[in-house]
């Protein structure tokens, strides 16, 4: 994905009510089976369970 494509997808994500990512943090977003934008999770990138 090019920077331009990323900016376009980020704009669409925000247009659909998603939260913009912090500057400098790359979060890939993908459409789920319902057509919603969701953050693509990398293996091992699990939230703390505490």
List pLDDT tens digits, range 33-43: 898 888 877 65
Q: What are phi and psi of 28, to 5 degrees?
A: -80, 135
List pLDDT tens digits, range 6-21: 888 877 776 766 666 5
Q: Which helix (H) or strand (E) holds 13?
A: helix 3-15
Long-range contacts of 24-33 (CB under 8 A, 24+ apart): 28/1
Rounded Cα–Cα distance for residues 32 and 29 (Å): 9
């Amino acid at each position: 994905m090019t920077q331009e494509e990323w900016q376009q997808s980020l704009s669409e994500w925000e247009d659909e009510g998603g939260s913009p990512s912090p500057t400098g943090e790359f979060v890939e977003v993908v459409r789920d089976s319902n057509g919603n934008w969701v953050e693509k999770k990398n293996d091992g990138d699990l939230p703390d369970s505490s």
